[in-house]
Each structure stands twice: as structure tokens, then as C-alpha cells.
Structure 1
Amino acid sequence: MQPIFETERLLLRPFELTDASKVQELAGDIEVAKTTLSIPYPYPDGAAESWISGCKERSQEGVGFTYAIVSKDNHSLIGCMSINVSKSHKRGELAYWLGKPFWGHGYATEAARRLVAFGFKELDLNKVWAAAMTKNPASSNVMKKVGMKLEGQFQQHILKWNEFEDLVFYGLTKRDYTDSIL
């Protein structure tokens, strides 16, 4: 069973089908979709329900842990934070998005810190990494704030909406994470 986490301001819990309309609304914002690797625009009807069902399956298999980021104050959905696990390499990819009204408040960093700790302490990963489009410096800043280091930039690495986009990759090893909290 996927654990639930609390931070100072947030509750990180598995998505529920009742979150689907809010996921479609928040993730379906063009400003959110254009700087993420896999969110479609326009966000199709029924896609959120399928995605949530897939999240539950990946969690049960132990290969992906996707969390609804929820405000503890008013219980509203803010966004998503996930860690996708490569068991054979003991590595996890951190991925996230926030609804535009919640940008710039430190929510992504707060949620990322908790999921990085989950990756190293509970999942016993050796490395946590993440990628972002170079045109999304706010995402790179989250990675830096949780201790990740720039590992490289891949030119024209993905095709998003008929445009090739550059990606930056950040990573943090368990050794560096452990050294940073001592």
C-alpha cells in the first residue's frame, strides 16, 4: 500500500478518481502542459481517469509512486509529484507539475524534499534524478533546492508540439544525500 505523507503545509496522498476533474482542469492549462514532458493539450475527457487508474497499478507493482499534492489548509488539489522506479538500477525519476495558481509558493520544493527522502530511506534507492525543459527554469530550481546537481543538457532531446526541446538532467546519489543531512 502506498504511504501517505505530511509536510508542513501539504498532504501527499494517492490520487483518487474523484480528483479527475481537478487534474484535467489544472494539468490541462496550456501554461502547465507546454513545459511538461507528457501532459497533453487540450487535455482529453477521460484521460485523467485512465491516468489515475494507471498510477494505482504502477504503485501496486512498486515501479511508480504518484502523489496528489493537497493543501492541508483547505484540502484543495495543488498538483502532482511522482517517483518512478527502475528497480534493477535502484534509481528513481522525480517528476511533477503544479497548477498555475500555485506556482511560486515553494510547494513543489516542499513535496520534492519528502519524495526524495522516501526514495532514499524507504525505497532504498541509490539515485534520484529528474529532467526539465530548459525553458522551464522553475523546475530546475526545485531540483537544485532539494540537493540535485546538474548532470548535463541534451540538445533537442524531445519533440513537444512539433518543436524539439532541450532537456537538463539533475541527479542526487544516496551518498550525497546522506552526507548533506548529517
Structure 2
Amino acid sequence: MIPTFETKRLVIRPYVKTDADKVELLAGNPKVAETTVAIPHPYPKGLAASWISKHEKKAIEIGSYTFAVVLKSTSELLGTLTFRVDIDDNKAELGYWFGVPYWGNGYCTEAARRIIEFGFNELKLNKIRASVMTKNPASMKILTKLDFEKEGVFKQDIMKSGNYEDMVYYGLLRQNYQYNR
């Protein structure tokens, strides 16, 4: 049900049970949790296995795809991309997190570009949106590289670790999509 994609350096595939330990290691880093809405810190033992077990059902029932991003050369897990499709409004929401050792290598941009291509070229979506905490400029830079436009800032939009966080919302319209050649 969850498709697999390849890029020059990466494989973007469904998660499997054996990924759980690596997810706990990567997501357990406080730097990852700090700027990620849904990742708790400390990361509870066993949470990754439970999380992975729900992916296929969520894809079937609500069109929410969660992908493992791995290096093509070694199959090493780098991080996660999520793509929540809203068929009724012909749009999707892109989300991502990567382990700290893999930051700054362009992996997230490369993987996200392929999922955006899937969204516009294969699913024929009209819009892809993403949101990021204002305290995460690296994530904002990724979205800018992918031609997303800033649509606005929502003050105190989410609560993370007992604190309200401001969120920046971005969008990419099909008419502005540059990779469909």
C-alpha cells in the first residue's frame, strides 16, 4: 500500500519492524524532539515499534503515508518523511525529521523533492503544504529550496513540552511547481 521511491542517493520506502531500534536512537536525540511537533523527549522504549505497526492502516484509512528514508548504498536509516493526502481538497501535508548525524547533507531536500514529484505528477494534487516551528530555520531553508512560499505565521499555534510554539506555514501550488519536466 505504501509505495517505494528512489533518488540518486536514497530509497524512500515503507517502514519495517526491524527499523524500530534505529528510530528510537535517532528520534531519542533531544535536538530532533526539540523542533518536531510529534516526537516526545525522552523517547519511550517501544514507541517506535507501535508507531511503525500503524503505518499501513493509516495509509489505507486516511491517506497518511509515512516513509523511511535510507541510504541507497548501505540501507542505513536516516529519517522520516510523512505525506498526509487530503483527497477531498486535492492537497497534502509534507512533514519530515532526520537524525542529527545526517543533518546538512541535503538528504531531506532530496527525499522531499521526490515525494513532491509523486504528489504533483502521480497524485495530481493542487497544493502541498508544510509547517515548521519558528525556532527551526534549517527546516525553513529546506522548504525554501523546494520552492515553497511562506503563507503566514501562527502565534502560539502548538504546545510542545509545556510551551506554546509559533508555527510558520508554507505552501507550494501545482502551478508554481518547477520539477514537473
Q: TM-score surpassing 0.5?
A: yes
Native 8 Å contact 1:20 1:48 kept in 2: yes
Q: Verify: 1:155 aligned to 2:155, yes or no.
A: yes
Once the two structures are superposed, what CA deviation does each residue of 1:50-74 show, in whole Å capped at 9, x if it has no partner? 1111211112235111110000121
> Identity across aligned pairs (percent)?
48
- SS of equivalent residue, structure 1 residue 89: coil
State the partner residue of 2:38: 38
Task: State whether residues 127 and 173 of structure 1, in contact with CA within 8 Å, keep that contact through their aligned partners in structure 2.
Answer: yes
Task: Determine the C-alpha separation between the residues in 2 that align with 1:180 and 1:30.
Answer: 34
Q: Shift of residue 180 of structure 1?
A: 6.0
Distance 1:99 1:161 in 2: 20
2:82 maps to 82
How many residue pairs get matched?
A: 181
Partner of 1:135: 135
Distance 2:59 2:122 in 1: 14
Separation in structure 2 between the aligned mates of residue 54 and residue 91 of structure 1, nearest angstrom: 22
TM-score, structure 1 length as denominator?
Answer: 0.95
1:172 equivalent to 2:147? Answer no
- Conserved in 2, the CA contact under 8 Å of 1:82 and 1:115? no
After superposition, residues 8-157 of structure 1 pair within 5 angstroms as: 8-61=8-61, 63-157=63-157
- 8 Å Cα contact 2:117-2:179 kept in structure 1: no
C-alpha change, 1:12 and 1:180, in structure 2 (3 Å) is closer
* Structure 1 segments (4+ residues) deviating >6 Å: none
Tell me how far apart the structure 1 counterparts of residues 179 and 12 of structure 2 sit (CA, whole Å). Answer: 24
